[in-house]
């Protein structure tokens, strides 16, 4: 209440109580006192006298507006000229109630409180949309990058493997080749690291209709740490404190996003240059009720209470433009609450911060990571393989892998594959990409089901990076085997030889 008269304040309060309110209130009548009171907020409602000795209602309103507060503001005053009332409303004051018509006060307040609630909900929705939007665009970007990386990478990794094998043979007779093998080994190691990054990117790109699966927290931490390597490197040592915990029920890619956000925040809270004196600790453990806990702790700047109060609010950031958008933790909280988990934080300025995620207990932990073990078969007879991929590099590497055991025919479009089969060509196995222009792999499958059902059955699909596409989704109803790009040559070799016998 911005009101210099205690008596008038009493009248207003009596009216409010009659209307069923039991307000906590403070009365102020100077600019400084109002500012201080606003800082102690939040407030649901402000009433102000129109004119007081040190201050006017309209000035009071400007103070509120300068603080960017959306609190209903009602002037309650003795008779004033019509013009003054109009000017106040024009300035944005919600309503003007005359002291001799106080029976209007309660209905006006009820209306304004309702409107304020609607505005708050609308704002919340806008923020949620923003979060959803960024999640979608990050996912799509990641998907397309992973997709583009996969084809050349498959070629690089495959060729390195082939060259290594050939040189291994030669090195038995030519000693000078041995050091080359070491160089090749380094190159392969590099390719493997890129493969992991591409796989991690794909973790981020799954379509939003999410599968909840049993997720190994360690694995998610490791892939997030790899992705954050650059941010961490010159700032802190990483300490891994992995206690023995069962898998949690979550979506792996989303959880990866959460961990990555937390780890990058932790890294960014530490100044560059003292990596030896700083730590980022990632931990998994169980609390005393048996719930699974994941933690990211840093020895960085820590947060003051007024920062801490806002960190989960979308768009709140203390970082410069270009470094932070302030959406990271808002996204984390949403992902975490979607899986019924909780995120909490402890922080002290100058010491560091600890983010903790507590996962709900789950009933069953069986049948996880059960990899089917497949015996290795050597080729039993020479077969005919059709490779359908719009990326010639892929066909080429497959041809090189299989040429010794099988005949490989490659085409660059599903249409051409279909035409050949319609003309009567037969194959033992079809290896097909999913996404191709004109006709996709799944579409080829549907056509083959009509014209050559046995060939449809023999199809094996390469899946690339993009999980968001329709073509990828259309694989859903198809039971055939999929091989993820980039693939290991041994794996491919084994699959081919198993299928041709």
Instruction: Tell me which residues touch Mg ion (CB under 5 A).
Output: 265, 328
Stretch that binds ligand ATP, among 5-13, 216-224, 317-325, 394-402 (CB under 6 A): 317-325
The correct pick among 5, 30, 51, 317 for binding ligand ATP (CB under 6 A) is: 317
Q: Minimum CB separation from ligand ATP for residue 32, in Å?
A: 30
Phi, psi of 286 (to 5 degrees): -115, 145
What b/e sequence results for 106-121 when a residue is b if at least 16 CB atoms lie within 10 Å of its CB, and e otherwise?
bebbeebeeebeeeee
266, 300 Cβ separation under 8 angstroms = yes
Task: Name the residue nearer to Mg ion (CB basis): 226 or 377.
Answer: 226
Taking the CB of residue 260, how many other CB atoms lie within 10 A of it? Answer: 24
Task: Name the residue nearer to ligand ATP (CB basis): 120 or 271.
Answer: 271
The count of C-alpha atoms lying within 13 angstroms of the C-alpha of 326, restricted to the half-sphere facing its C-beta, is 15
Stretch that binds ligand ATP, among 54-62, 96-104, 149-157, 261-269 (CB under 6 A): 261-269
Is 318 near ligand ATP (CB under 6 A)?
Answer: yes
- Which residue in 14, 83, 80, 18 sits closest to 49, CA to CA? 80
Footprint of ligand ATP on 333-372 (CB under 6 A): 353
Task: Name the residue nearer to ligand ATP (CB basis): 66 or 349.
Answer: 349
CA distance 432 to 56: 77
Phi, psi of 81 (to 5 degrees): -65, 155
Task: Name the residue nearer to ligand ATP (CB basis): 1 or 329.
Answer: 329
Cα three-residue angle 354-357-362, rounded to 5 degrees? 155
Residue nearest to Mg ion according to CB distances in the complex: 328
CA distance 210 to 62: 48
Task: Name the residue nearer to Mg ion (CB basis): 335 or 434.
Answer: 335
**Bridge partners of residue 295, in order along the sequence:** 283, 356
CA distance 287 to 290: 5
Strand blocks (E) in 175-278: 213-215, 237-242, 248-250
The correct pick among 5, 164, 291, 325 for binding ligand ATP (CB under 6 A) is: 325
The correct pick among 286, 316, 480, 483 for binding ligand ATP (CB under 6 A) is: 316
Is 266 near ligand ATP (CB under 6 A)?
Answer: yes
Q: Coil, helix or strand for 109?
A: helix
Q: Minimum CB separation from ligand ATP for residue 484, in Å?
A: 29
Is 269 near ligand ATP (CB under 6 A)?
Answer: yes
Partner interacting with residue 298 (select from Mg ion, ligand ATP, none; CB below 5-8 Å by kind): ligand ATP
- Which residue in 461, 463, 466, 426 sits closest to 445, CA to CA? 461
Is the bond leading into 324 cis (omega within 30 degrees of zero)?
A: no
Task: Name the residue nearer to Mg ion (CB basis): 84 or 260.
Answer: 260
CA distance 294 to 217: 8
Task: Name the residue nearer to ligand ATP (CB basis): 188 or 317.
Answer: 317
Is 307 near ligand ATP (CB under 6 A)?
Answer: yes
The correct pick among 260, 327, 335, 339 for binding ligand ATP (CB under 6 A) is: 327
Stretch that binds ligand ATP, among 4-12, 85-93, 300-308, 446-454 (CB under 6 A): 300-308
Is 224 near ligand ATP (CB under 6 A)?
Answer: no
Q: Minimum CB separation from ligand ATP for residue 343, in Å?
A: 11
CA distance 78 to 80: 6
Q: Which residues contact 143 (CB under 8 A, 6 or more apart)?
A: 201, 202, 204, 205, 465, 466, 467, 468
Is 1 near ligand ATP (CB under 6 A)?
Answer: no
Cα dihedral angle (225, 231, 237, 240), rounded to 10 degrees?
A: -20
DSSP state of 365: -
Partner interacting with residue 307 (select from Mg ion, ligand ATP, none; CB below 5-8 Å by kind): ligand ATP
The correct pick among 2, 311, 430, 489 for binding ligand ATP (CB under 6 A) is: 311
Is 152 near ligand ATP (CB under 6 A)?
Answer: no
Number of residues that bind ligand ATP (CB under 6 A): 22
Q: Minimum CB separation from ligand ATP for residue 363, in Å?
A: 33
**Bridge partners of residue 190, in order along the sequence:** none
DSSP state of 270: S
Residue nearest to ligand ATP according to CB distances in the complex: 328
- Contacts with ligand ATP by CB under 6 A lie at 261, 265-266, 269, 298, 300-301, 303, 307, 311, 316-319, 324-330, 353
């Amino acid at each position: 209440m911005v009101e210099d008269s205690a008596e008038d304040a009493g009248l207003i309060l009596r009216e409010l109580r009659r209307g069923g309110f039991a307000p906590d209130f403070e009365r102020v009548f100077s600019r400084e006192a109002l500012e201080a009171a606003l800082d102690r907020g939040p407030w649901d409602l402000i009433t102000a006298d129109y004119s007081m000795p040190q201050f006017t209602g309209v000035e009071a309103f400007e103070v509120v507006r300068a603080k960017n507060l959306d609190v209903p503001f009602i002037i309650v005053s003795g008779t004033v000229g019509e013009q003054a009332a109009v000017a106040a409303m024009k300035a944005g004051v919600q309503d003007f109630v005359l002291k001799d018509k106080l029976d209007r006060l309660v209905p006006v307040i009820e209306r304004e409180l309702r409107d304020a609630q609607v505005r708050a909900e609308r704002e919340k929705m806008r923020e949620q949309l923003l979060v959803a939007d960024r999640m979608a665009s990050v996912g799509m970007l990641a998907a397309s990058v992973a997709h583009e990386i996969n084809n050349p990478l498959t070629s690089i990794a495959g060729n390195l493997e082939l060259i290594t094998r050939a040189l291994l043979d030669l090195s038995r007779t030519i000693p000078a080749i041995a050091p080359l093998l070491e160089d090749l080994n380094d190159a392969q190691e590099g390719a493997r690291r890129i493969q992991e990054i591409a796989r991690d990117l794909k973790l981020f790109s799954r379509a939003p209709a999410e599968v909840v699966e049993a997720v190994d927290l360690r694995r998610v931490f490791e892939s997030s740490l790899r992705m954050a390597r650059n941010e961490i490197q010159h700032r802190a040592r990483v300490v891994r404190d992995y206690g023995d915990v069962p898998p949690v029920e979550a979506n792996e890619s989303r959880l990866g996003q959460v961990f990555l956000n937390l780890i990058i925040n932790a890294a960014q809270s530490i100044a560059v240059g003292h990596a030896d004196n700083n730590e980022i600790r990632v931990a998994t453990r169980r609390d005393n009720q048996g719930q699974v806990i994941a933690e990211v702790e840093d020895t960085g700047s820590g947060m003051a209470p007024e920062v801490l109060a806002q960190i989960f609010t979308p768009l709140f950031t203390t970082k410069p433009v270009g470094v932070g958008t302030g959406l990271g933790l808002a996204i984390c909280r949403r992902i975490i609450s979607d899986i019924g988990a909780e995120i909490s934080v402890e922080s002290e300025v100058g010491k560091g911060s600890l983010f903790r995620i507590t996962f709900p207990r789950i009933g069953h932990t069986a049948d996880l990571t059960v990899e089917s073990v497949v015996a290795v078969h050597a080729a039993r007879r020479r077969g005919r393989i059709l490779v359908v991929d719009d990326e010639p590099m892929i066909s080429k590497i497959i041809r090189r892998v299989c040429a010794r055991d099988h005949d490989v025919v490659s085409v660059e479009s599903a249409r051409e594959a279909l035409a050949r089969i319609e003309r009567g060509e037969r194959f033992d196995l079809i290896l097909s990409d999913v996404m191709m222009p004109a006709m996709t792999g799944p579409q080829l499958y549907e056509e083959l089901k009509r014209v050559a059902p046995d060939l449809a059955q023999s199809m094996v699909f390469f899946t690339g990076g993009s999980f968001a596409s329709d073509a990828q989704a259309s694989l859903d109803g198809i039971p055939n085997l999929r091989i993820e790009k980039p693939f290991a040559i041994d794996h491919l070799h084994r699959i081919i030889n198993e299928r041709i016998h």
